[in-house]
Structure 1
Amino acid sequence: MDLPVYTKQQLALRNGQDKPQIWVAYKGFIYEVTESRLWRNGKHYEHWAGQDLTDEMPDAPHTETVFEKFTIIGVLK
């Protein structure tokens, strides 16, 4: 799988505010969550889109399998 590589700055723009796309990163991969009702306006509970959520997962009420329903669209540099 040959995925495009994005910087943290590029990821940060996909926060549901600056650009229409809503992306989040987890364990080096970037996920497209624009269509998720749980990420409406780029916010999911106390989390904001456009960020790497890897370090925040241990505090989540769900496991990392939640990412399986989203498409991987890139790699975080």
Structure 2
Amino acid sequence: MSELPEFTKNQLALRNGQDKPEIWVAYQNTIYDVTESGLWKNGKHYEHWAGQDLTEELEDAPHTYAVFSRLKVVGTLKVV
């Protein structure tokens, strides 16, 4: 099994739906591609913005980790 690439918070921030064609979000140190999701059009989903780590923001979200299991994993968030 190949190891996933690591991305910094700055690299993740560029995938915000505005700067590059990819739209990514991080959750619990895993980066997910939400580009094809209609829920993330233009990099925004309700009050959440793409291109960032949403772990803390989603602590009180009405859904569970199962939402992320449907998304493509593109890498891990580099912890510095």
With structure 2 as the length reference, what TM-score do the two structures score? Answer: 0.92
> Sequence identity, in percent?
69
Structure 2, unmatched stretches of 5+, are none
Take 1:59 and 1:27, find their aligned partners in 2: how far apart are those partners?
14
1:15-57 deviation digits (Å, cap 9, x = unpaired): 0001110000011110000000000100000000000011011
The equivalent residue for 1:42 is 43
> After the TM superposition, which residues 1-77 of structure 1 pair with which residues of structure 2 at under 5 Å, given as runs?
1-77=2-78
Report the structure, 1 or 2, having the larger helix content: 1
- Mark the runs of 5 or more structure 1 residues left unpaired by the alignment: none
Instruction: Note the aligned Cα RMSD (angstroms).
Output: 0.8
Structure 2 residue matching 1:18: 3-state secondary structure = coil
- Give the TM-score of the pair, scaled to structure 1: 0.96
1:57–1:64 contact (8 Å) kept in structure 2: no
- Displacement of 1:59 after TM fit? 2.1
